[in-house]
Every structure is written in structure tokens, then in C-alpha cells.
Amino acid sequence: LQALSLTGAALVLLGYAGQQYAGLRGDGLAYGLVNLIGSALLASTALRPLNAGVLVLEATWAAISLGIVVRALRRRGGPPVG
């Protein structure tokens, strides 16, 4: 559980640092994917024991990140989604 949590946190922070310091686009596929995976991992670790605040925050972050991924794929002409 700790490994999942640390991996999730590292991915979210990697996306943030990449956007702030390395020119990673906030609306790009890479940014959306690292945030989606990282926040999903963190949300899963908030289930047991239940940590409602973290679960709501990370599930919302994952949903927003999924929207970024979908839009980025549509811009690329990727597979149709939804």
C-alpha cells in the first residue's frame, strides 16, 4: 500500500514539476497520463482505511486528468472516445 501511495505521489509530482520546469504542456497527453495514473493510485490507497478527503480529492483529480487525456487523444486523431 505504501509503495502504491509513493508511486502515485511521485507521478503527480513529476507531472507538476514537468509542467513548471520542463515545458510539459498542461493540456498534453503525457501530463494527463501521469496525473491520471498517479491520482488513481493515490485514490485506491485511500479506500482502506477510508480517508474520505484524500479519496474525493484524488478521484476528482483523476477525472479531470482523464478529460485531459481524452482531449489530447482527440487532437492527435487518436481512437474515438465516448
Please tell me the pTM assigned to this model: 0.88
Q: What is the mean pLDDT of residues 13-20?
A: 96
Do 35 and 65 meet the contact criterion of CB atoms below 8 Å apart?
A: yes
The percent of residues above 90 in pLDDT, for the chain, comes to: 90
> Whole-number mean pLDDT of the chain?
93
Say what the pLDDT of residue 1 is: 87
Pull the grid cell for residue 23. Answer: 515545458
Q: What is the pLDDT of residues 47-79, one digit of tens each?
A: 999 999 999 999 999 999 999 999 999 998 865
